[in-house]
Chains A and B, each alone.
Chain A
Amino acid sequence: MEEVHAIAHGVTLRVPHFVQGEQRASSFASTLLAAAMARPRREYREILSGVTFEAREGDRVALMGRNGAGKTTLLRVLSGAFKPTSGHVEVRGSVQALLNLGLGFHQDATVRENIFVRAAAMGMGAGPVASQLDAILDFSGLGHAVNHRLSTLSSGQRMRLGFAISTSVQHDIMLMDEWFGAGDAEFVEKARDRMVDRVAGSSIVILASHSFQMLRRICNLGMVLDAGEMVYFGPVNDAIDEYKKIYQATPEYLARRKFEAENEALVTQRIVARASSDAGDDDAA
């Protein structure tokens, strides 16, 4: 039995991106003119630098970092979409990336046709899809709409369909960008059960999220990214502490804390006022 693993060694990713030159537009007209005339500059930016880690069978890795720290990019490197500029990635086992649920739907095709095309995009043959078709329809609760055009579905129904197809098969490795949990009350419950099931069935899970509570519950390892660099990789509770240190050092956070410390009386007063008004509401109800 071969072991499932995901290894990244010194992964660095430099991407070209276009920057519009600084505009010192003073009037409305000159803003319009500048929009048409200014040529974008091509610049290179390093969005991951020297990320090294190993995830072995049974590992659940929490991926943390502020917005723009490179979490999604790292997931995309692991899924094979981006190739590292230097360093390398080795992933053994089948990978399911739950990054985009609305992927590749044809608006004018029916629900049934969309299930086939989407499953084909996920690498499932026509045979396995046909056998999954009923299960997918049942799970998404769209059995009655199987021959309706996709454009007639609500966005919630589409989300259900995407979720049902994406999670219809168990893979060795799951890459997730935030935990999925939207939908109406009944579906949220079903989706949660399904996700717990899939996570339990996976050998490795790598999950980017901001919810400490959930990360503590699911993960054993944690990785903290900051501006593309891996700041910490180790036990999840320590990783959460590291991550807290980072965002607690940001100017906005410091300013808020300073304000709260200096105006302690005022803040307390507000909290008390809110609590008593809530209590008042309760009494009224």
Chain B
Amino acid sequence: MKPTYRSTYNEHLIPQFWQSLIHPDYWAYSSWLAIATKYRRTSLGLLWAMLPTAVFVVVLGNIYSHLMGYPIEQYLPYLGIGYVLWRFMIHVINDAVTTFHLHKAFIMEGRIRLTDFVLSSFAKAGFYLFFGGVIVLCVFLWSPILHVSALWTLLLTLPLLVINMAWVAVCIAMLGARFPDIQEVIGTVLILGLLLTPILWPIEKFPADSVRGIVVRFNPAFHLIDVVRAPLLGRMPETVSIVAVVAMGIIGWVLASILFRRYARFVPLWV
């Protein structure tokens, strides 16, 4: 059967995404190549994908555990997990915002699904998450208060984070293609975000019933991180976090689907 292209057919996000997922040849290979070649001429090679995280966690962990008055055995894992997840999120967002512009030549060729480009920004972030995971694993093995058995919760919690980041990436990629301002906005927000999100400091500083506590809990990044982080540290995440993450996932995907259905056809004209 010959493939048939009809211009009247409007792409739906979820089937497109699925098609991209089952044909990973292009996006997986090209994003892996981008990482592998980035460090190719360095002497340490792929170690560079791990070193910055390791340095950040070890150095900042030591200083801040003292500053905040927490035992380092407790603080280092908290910081490590939070930071690695945060890094994953900013990688996804930073890459998504420019992904359509970067792949302009491919889009003009008309052969590849737009979701492939979203996934290529995702795959890169995923590789870094994996390398960050190695650091976290080291922290796990080192810390006396953590149990490696807690790692199985990742099977349940990590998909929640990834599903949420996927719709965020789709929306940001489309907005970034249309409005160059988004790139500037995101640069600003992400710097603030690291300080405003409970990564360096624990959420217990702000109880949920205080005014500040309520404000802090409006930060979606906190819920996304804590749903993954808390079970690893042997706590249950707050109920509000679980509800928020599930609700965001559902609403976000509906929103992304509508945006994609309505505006995907304009992306080649915008970039």
Contact = CB atoms under 8 A, between A and B. Distances in A.
A106 B34 contact: yes
A83 interface: yes
Contacts of B112: 121, 123
Contacts, number: 100
Contacts of B105: 100, 103-104
B40 A108 contact: yes
B29 A116 contact: yes
Interface in A108-132: 108-109, 113, 116-117, 120-126
Contact of B269 (A15, A113, A120, A123): A15
Contacts of B3: 92-94
B205 interface: no
A94 B7 contact: no
A113 B8 CA distance: 36
Contacts of B106: 103-104, 121
A280 B106 CA distance: 53
Contact of A92 (B2, B7, B26): B2
Interface residues on B, range: 20 to 34
Secondary structure at the B interface, as helix, strand, loop or mixed, is helix
A81 B107 contact: yes
Contact of A97 (B1, B110, B269): B110
B7 A120 contact: no
A128 to B, nearest CB: 11
Interface string B223-235: 0000000000000
B26 A79 contact: no
Interface of A: 2, 4, 15-16, 76-77, 79-84, 88-95, 97, 99-100, 103-104, 106, 108-109, 113, 116-117, 120-126, 172
Interface of B: 1-8, 25-26, 29-30, 33-34, 36-38, 40-41, 105-112, 265, 268-270
Please list the 4 inter-chain residue pairs (A to B) with the smallest Cβ-Cβ separation, ordered nearest first.
Answer: A81-B110, A108-B37, A79-B110, A80-B110
